[in-house]
Amino acid sequence: MLGLNKKDTSLLIVVALLTLFAPFILNPFPEGSAMAQFNAGYPDLMQRFVIFGIFAIGFNILFGLTGYLSFGHAAFLGVGSYSAVWMFKLLSYNVIPAIALSVVVAGLFSLLIGFVSLRRSGIYFSILTLAFAQMSFALAYSVLSNPKFNLTNGETGLQVYADDPQILQGANSPDLPHLFGLPMRATYTMDVGAWSFDFNAGYYLCAVIMMVVFYLAIRIFRSPFGMMLRAVKSNQQRMNYTGLNSKPYTLAAFVISGMYAGLAGGLMAAMDPLAGAERMQWTASGEVVLMTILGGTGTLIGPVLGAGFIKYFENIFSKINDNVLHSWFAFLPDGMEDAVVFLIHPFIGKGWHLTLGILFMLVVIYLPGGLVEGGQRLLKRLKRKKTDADDAPSGKTEPAE
């Protein structure tokens, strides 16, 4: 199917079903219940799951296949966002030209940075990419916000104003990002008993695009080009001894990865037409590294799982406060209730980074292959138990011959 083997086709179908039914899967608890705060099926968060999944998939093409660790990929995310907003300002709110421009500009920018950075490898490559990203952040934050040629609007962020040209914006077109008239914020809410499910146009646009780029990532992983990238990761020096020049392959991987990041940045702007320099900070680059390692470096679905895991912690787990904890443990005696809340307090709310850090250390120590390895181990254990149960003696005796 679509040039994929049976295993990859099954994986693609699973990812498609998960993204299609995400509004149901991410809202398991009834509205108004004590556990409803763990629901993550609202449009803004679902969009973030998918967009950062795209970002992590692209990063994994570089890091997972070649072993080149970039600490500056957020630069391409920010460039993609700025490009999309400028397209909104100059042409119209239609998201297609904005997304296309974000991919093209991010690709050209990554070609420039990759051409210089890939002259070195290992930690030197990582430091070079970090330096370029911080330079890009400084340019966006201050230099390019000069009133004479204000391209980024500095710390305020770039946004669309009423006096912008928007030469293709029709009189009847929505005054917010749209897909040929369909607003990205358009949401249909379906109430089923005590449950409420939101179906958002922007989320499904991002989901369709993620499925396309996920399919492309599978084809890259299984292609001869992907094998060459694995050879670079395995032993680049030995590869060079055979007479093969690895630089064009690593540069191509870097540019493809940068285009994925630019696409994610363009989608962020398409969902909310605002671009700020904070998207280019080193912390954003570090976040995608954590997503990829946490999910499973070099795997196909791992980066998507890692992105969803981290964004869930950032947006859901961080909202738990002492009042919520007191409501959970109200059945305990007062002194014991206060003690339990006191012990848990450092790990929730603003302390969610501490919990995430502990979980990340546990994954790195016990599951070097990330969440994907954990899932594989669990499946193997379940299959082993089933096999042992099938092979166990039934208790019946057969007559001797």
Per-residue confidence (pLDDT) for residue 331, from 0 to 100: 85
Distance CA 46, CA 204 (A): 9
The pairing of beta strand 182-183 with beta strand 178-179: antiparallel
The arithmetic mean of pLDDT across residues 253-282, rounded, is 93
Question: Which conformational region is residue 176 in: left (phi greater than 0), alpha (psi within -120 to 50 degrees), or beta?
Answer: beta
Has residue 363 got a pLDDT over 90? no
The arithmetic mean of pLDDT across residues 352-365, rounded, is 87
The arithmetic mean of pLDDT across residues 148-170, rounded, is 84
Half-sphere exposure of 318 (CA within 13 A, CB side): 13
Has residue 145 got a pLDDT over 50? yes
Distance CA 50, CA 208 (A): 10
Per-residue confidence (pLDDT) for residue 35, from 0 to 100: 80
Per-residue confidence (pLDDT) for residue 348, from 0 to 100: 84
Closest CA to 304 of 116, 22, 75: 22
Structure tokens at 61: 């093409």
- At 189 the three-state DSSP class reads strand
Residues 6+ apart with CB under 8 A from 97: 87, 91
Per-residue confidence (pLDDT) for residue 58, from 0 to 100: 95
Has residue 336 got a pLDDT over 60? yes
Residues 6+ apart with CB under 8 A from 337: 326, 329, 330
Distance CA 379, CA 375 (A): 6
The residue type at 261: A
Please work out, in degrees rounded to the nearest 5, the angle formed at the alpha carbon of residue 356 by the alpha carbons of 355 and 361.
100
Per-residue confidence (pLDDT) for residue 357, from 0 to 100: 87
Sketch the domain layout of the chain as residue ranges.
6-280
Structure tokens at 36: 């409803």
This prediction's pTM: 0.92
Distance CA 301, CA 292 (A): 10
Has residue 161 got a pLDDT over 80? yes
Has residue 114 got a pLDDT over 60? yes
Q: What is the DSSP letter of 398?
A: P
Pairwise pLDDT comparison (328 vs 83), residue with the higher score: 83
Residues 6+ apart with CB under 8 A from 245: none
Distance CA 369, CA 345 (A): 31
What band does 399 get if pLDDT is binned at 50, 70 and 90? low
Per-residue confidence (pLDDT) for residue 401, from 0 to 100: 43
Q: What are phi and psi of 97, to 5 degrees?
A: -60, -35
The arithmetic mean of pLDDT across residues 258-270, rounded, is 96
**What confidence tens digit (pLDDT) does each residue in 366-380 have?**
888 888 888 888 888
Has residue 325 got a pLDDT over 50? yes
Distance CA 119, CA 112 (A): 12
Question: Facing residues of 182 across strands?
Answer: 179
**What confidence tens digit (pLDDT) does each residue in 208-258 have?**
999 999 999 999 999 999 999 999 998 888 887 888 888 999 999 999 999
**What confidence tens digit (pLDDT) does each residue in 125-134 have?**
999 999 999 9
The residue type at 93: Y
CATH of domain 6-280: 1.10.3470
What band does 164 get if pLDDT is binned at 50, 70 and 90? confident
The arithmetic mean of pLDDT across residues 346-360, rounded, is 86
- At 178 the three-state DSSP class reads strand
Distance CA 312, CA 355 (A): 13
What band does 5 get if pLDDT is binned at 50, 70 and 90? confident
Residues 6+ apart with CB under 8 A from 268: 51, 77, 80, 81, 279
- At 198 the three-state DSSP class reads strand
Has residue 313 got a pLDDT over 60? yes
What band does 154 get if pLDDT is binned at 50, 70 and 90? confident
What band does 54 get if pLDDT is binned at 50, 70 and 90? very high
Has residue 341 got a pLDDT over 50? yes
Q: What are phi and psi of 198, to 5 degrees?
A: -105, 130
Closest CA to 370 of 313, 308, 297, 289: 297
The residue type at 366: Y
